[in-house]
Amino acid sequence: MTSFAASLAGFVLRTTGYYRRMFSGGPQFEKNIAKIRSGPLPSPKAHADVDIRNSEFQGRPVWHLAPKNAAPTAHILFWHGGGYVYPATDIHWKFLSRMASVHGWSITAPLYPLAPENTADHITNWAMEYYKAYLAEMGDTAFVMGGDSAGGGLTAALAHMARDKGHSLPASLLLICPWLNLDPSHPDQLKTEPRDGILTIGGITAGGVLYAGDLPRTDPRCSPIFGNWEGLPPILAFGGGDDILVTDARALKAKLPSVEHIELAGMLHDWPIFSFSESRKAQAKMANFVTPAVA
């Protein structure tokens, strides 16, 4: 049964339509992107138990969060969601700070280039350049790569590219409500849309077109579900019953049965990074999944 907090959040989001307007599509979509980016961008806040620092890679910010007074339990390379058009939000930073504080993660979160100024070809190439730099920095230290929503799609695309180019792979992959198919044509998505308090079909259609640019939306760099999933590390994937992207996580499980897939009915998009009781259990599950992989 869905917790009261999660049910209330879904109701409020559907009623107010704040996030749905962000992902509304149509002629207003790019104006919404510009408006949100015109203000100060959220960043990690000071935390008693978490060391926070930032660096730069090819002109883009990279944030690092780690426990202050203990050795890290795991090293995580994390790619944030936002439909490939929005930067990381306060919800992302609170989630990552909590994973560092409570579960001991040392997290690196690059703020990659965004659409529409950039498209999938450039964005995935930038991310691959950063991935290679991260590998060089980590040396023989094992790490896990993960992301939420669009960041989950970027995580999958990068894992495919790294494997194909012969680079070292993460010990495991963490895909939180991943966006793996830019074409929202599954019939279940139309049925789910009225319950989705964050995403709309028109919004992810428009965002997918901006992100793909000149590439076909079926290109695995855009829609990793169409790529080759063999030879990748173990995967933990999450989905929510009230999320139009739940069909992507289901499609991955059908394509690769070895994926550990956790789906909860009644849960909104990206629910594992929120602060509901279900979210806390999912975060503990992530920590338990990640730690053996890097031990």
CA atoms of 90 and 190, how far apart (whole Å): 29
Q: What is the pLDDT, as a whole number, of residue 24?
A: 82
- Retrieve residue 290's tokens: 């990640």
Cβ-based neighbour number of residue 4 at 10 Å: 10
pLDDT for 133-148, tens place per residue? 999 999 999 999 999 9
pLDDT tops 70 at residue 38 = yes
Q: What does CATH list as the number for 4-294?
A: 3.40.50.1820
pLDDT for 243-281, tens place per residue? 999 999 999 999 999 999 999 999 999 999 999 999 999
pLDDT tops 80 at residue 76 = yes
pLDDT for 180-216, tens place per residue? 999 999 999 999 999 999 999 999 999 999 999 999 9
CA atoms of 263 and 251, how far apart (whole Å): 12
CA neighbor of 271 nearest in space, from 15, 6, 3: 6
Instruction: pLDDT band for 23, please (50, 70, 90 cuts).
Output: confident
Q: What is the pLDDT, as a whole number, of residue 15?
A: 95
Q: Which residues contact 116 (CB under 8 A, 6 or more apart)?
A: 30, 33, 85, 210
Q: Which residues pair with 77 in a beta bridge?
A: 108, 145
Q: Average pLDDT over the chain, rounded to whole?
A: 96
